Structure 1
């Protein structure tokens, strides 16, 4: 029996990554507005909830680069998350944007639904792209990585979220990235 334990570290960074992928809803809500909450409160709160995950990810990246906190992994399989983009748009963004926000109770229930959806995405490791990172040319990949090289036992795999400017990640090859935490790496290499 393979006793090697999968250490993912804190899941906070993965949670922030999921939050940032859902953050465009807050930008849309800021534009849309609600009758139950004054614009002078609603718009700044929505803008902070839109921008904060990107700012946090950027801070984690700066700290990781400053301390040169890198990890090299060998990619077993890599999946570009863009294949799930339509599901993401139609199953998540449109219903959340289209939700009734006329009363404080409606806003509360939609916000609780948003937290629930974010938790589910985090728990099943569905990471989509941060809007700002996408504008800067980054993509996100879900990568499986072999944990052990023991030849007698089947190798255990760990799942990583890789943020990269590459158009594809070659399988069975090493990748070095800056560690943000929670098995999230930012590829050190800038492009293919």
Structure 2
């Protein structure tokens, strides 16, 4: 990895990962319903917004496996994002679910707030777990990787989101994963 530079691109996959972590709100909204929009429109839209990010992540994974797009990184530090789960639930999901959705303006303002929160999570590299992946036994880790900057220049760290079935990712050891995009990997190893 000598002289390697991390190319994240537009971060589309990271955005989809953030969207998928916030998607349970749409499932709750589908059950809750609103008076301003009929159930024939509201429920399918909410269900689509719940399922679509997981579907897209699965498509990216299938493509990556088909083309055998593996990347090996050396884990410097690894953090399981579950430690922030209560903050996530009480700061994000409950207020978004509890918001007033009686009028179309309320719906528009909540949707804008949702986009703002998703952008902040994406920008701050806060990735939480996708509900469907969690049921399948996956966890998400924020991993720092050392990128060698070359002779005479200090090493730099890059941040990856790693989706894995392992209970922990050992530090200072290599990890191979299918590259979904820029800095999102799905661990090739199934379990520890």
How many residue pairs match? The answer is: 190
Aligned counterparts, 1:51-62, within 5 A = 51-62=51-62
Dislocated runs of 4+, deviation >3 Å? 3-6, 149-153
Residue matched to 2:126: 126
Structure 2 residues without counterparts, runs of 5 or longer: none
Residue matched to 2:34: 34
Cα deviation for residue 49 of structure 1 reads 0.2
Deviations 1:99-132, CA, capped at 9 Å, x for gaps: 0000000000000000000000000000000000
Structure 1 residues without counterparts, runs of 5 or longer: none
2:175 touches 2:187 (CA, 8 Å); kept in 1?
Answer: yes
Measured in 2, the distance between the counterparts of 1:51 and 1:102 equals 24
Change (3 A) 1:67 1:6: closer
Residue matched to 2:143: 143
Which SS does the other structure have where 1:37 is aligned? Answer: coil
2:6 touches 2:182 (CA, 8 Å); kept in 1?
Answer: no
Which SS does the other structure have where 2:143 is aligned? Answer: strand
Measured in 2, the distance between the counterparts of 1:177 and 1:66 equals 13
How large is the Cα RMSD of the aligned pairs?
A: 1.3
Measured in 1, the distance between the counterparts of 2:4 and 2:181 equals 19
Residue matched to 1:102: 102
Measured in 2, the distance between the counterparts of 1:13 and 1:82 equals 20
TM-score (norm 2): 0.96
Whether 2:25 is the aligned partner of 1:47: answer: no
Which SS does the other structure have where 1:191 is aligned? Answer: coil
1:10 touches 1:181 (CA, 8 Å); kept in 2?
Answer: no
Residue matched to 2:12: 12
Measured in 2, the distance between the counterparts of 1:70 and 1:128 equals 23
Residue matched to 2:164: 164
Cα deviation for residue 149 of structure 1 reads 6.7
TM-score (norm 1): 0.96
2:27 touches 2:50 (CA, 8 Å); kept in 1?
Answer: yes
Measured in 1, the distance between the counterparts of 2:99 and 2:87 equals 18
Deviations 1:147-175, CA, capped at 9 Å, x for gaps: 11747432100000000000000000000
